[in-house]
Chains A and B, each alone.
Chain A
Amino acid sequence: MTGQAHAGRPNQLLRNLHSKIASIPMILTAVVIFLGGTLWTVFYSFTNSKLLPRMSFVGLDQYERLWAAPRWLMSIQNLAIYGFFSLIFSLVIGFVLAALMDQKIRFENTFRTIFLYPFALSFIVTGLVWQWVLNPEFGVQSVVRSLGWSSFTFDPLYNQSIVIYGILIAALWQGTGLVMCLMLAGLRGIDEDIWKASRVDGIPMWKTYLFIIIPMMRAVFITTLVIIASGIVRVYDLVVAQTSGGPGIASEVPAKYVYDYMFLAQNLGQGFAASTMMLITVAIIIVPWAYLEFGGRKRG
Chain B
Amino acid sequence: MKLRLLAAALAATVVLPWSVASATDLEVTHWWTSGGEAAAVAELAKAFDATGNHWVDGAIAGSGGTARPIMISRITGGDPMGATQFNHGRQAEELVEAGLMRDLTDVATRENWKDIVKPSSLLDSCTIEGKIYCAPVNIHSWQWLWLSNAAFKKAGVEVPKNWDEFVAAAPALEKAGIIPLAVGGQPWQSAGAFDVLMVAIAGKDVFNKVFGEKDAEVAAGPDIAKVFKAADDARKMSKGSNVQDWNQATNLVITGKAGGQIMGDWAQGEFQVAGQKAGTDYTCLPGLGVNEIISTGGDAFYFPLLKDEEKSKAQEVLASTLLDPKTQVAFNLKKGSLPVRGDVDLNAANDCMKKGLEILAKGNVIQGTDQLLSADSQKQKEDLFSEFFANPSMTPEDAQKRFTEIIASAD
Contacts and interface: CB of A to CB of B under 8 A. Distances in A.
Contacts of A158: 242
B380 interface: yes
A93 to B, nearest CB: 29
B98 interface: yes
Overall SS of chain B's interface: helix
A265 B375 contact: yes
- Of B91, B244, B376, B383, the most chain A CB neighbours within 10 A belong to B383
- Contact residues on A (Cβ < 8 Å of other chain), bracket: 20 to 34
Interface in B160-192: 185-187
A248 B242 CA distance: 12
Overall SS of chain A's interface: loop
Contact of A266 (B91, B383, B389): B91
Contacts of A264: 64-65, 68-69, 375, 379
Interface string B211-255: 000000000000000000000000000000010100000000000
A247 B93 contact: no
Contact of B386 (A51, A52, A246): A246
A146 B1 CA distance: 62
B95 interface: yes
B189 to A, nearest CB: 11
Contacts of A69: 380, 383
Contacts of B69: 259, 262-264
Given A51-B93, A265-B375, A137 B242 contact: yes
Contacts of B379: 260-261, 264-265, 267
Interface in A64-109: 65, 69-71
A270 interface: yes
A136 B241 CA distance: 11
B72 A51 contact: yes
Interface in B391-409: 391, 402, 409
A262 B390 CA distance: 24
A158 B240 CA distance: 9
Given A51-B72, A51-B93, A248-B389, A71 B383 contact: yes
Interface string A236-251: 0000000111111110
B350 interface: no
Contacts of A267: 375-376, 379
Interface string A142-172: 0000000000000100101000000000000
Interface string B350-387: 00000000000000000000000011101110010011
A264 B68 CA distance: 7
A290 B262 CA distance: 53
B388 A248 contact: yes
A51 B76 CA distance: 10
Nearest to A257: B383
B388 to A, nearest CB: 7
Given A137-B242, A248-B387, A52 B98 contact: yes
A76 to B, nearest CB: 15
B391 A248 contact: yes
A160 B242 CA distance: 12
B308 interface: no
B343 interface: no
Nearest to A137: B242
Interface string A176-219: 00000000000000000000000000000000000000000000
B158 to A, nearest CB: 29
A266 B387 contact: no
Nearest to B241: A158
B384 to A, nearest CB: 8
A137 B375 CA distance: 35
A204 to B, nearest CB: 49
Interface string A256-291: 000111111111001000000000000000000000
B205 interface: no
B408 to A, nearest CB: 12
A246 B94 contact: no
Given A52-B98, A160-B390, A263-B72, A247 B185 contact: yes
- Of B76, B98, B244, B375, the most chain A CB neighbours within 10 A belong to B375
Contacts of A70: 383, 387, 402
Nearest to B240: A158
Given A70-B387, A250-B391, 12 more contacts: A50-B374, A65-B409, A69-B380, A71-B383, A246-B185, A247-B185, A248-B388, A248-B390, A250-B390, A259-B69, A263-B68, A264-B379
30 contacts: A50-B94, A50-B376, A51-B93, A51-B95, A51-B375, A52-B94, A52-B98, A69-B380, A158-B242, A160-B391, A244-B186, A246-B386, A248-B387, A249-B383, A249-B386, A249-B387, A250-B390, A250-B391, A259-B69, A261-B376, A263-B65, A263-B69, A264-B64, A264-B65, A264-B375, A265-B375, A265-B376, A265-B380, A266-B91, A267-B376
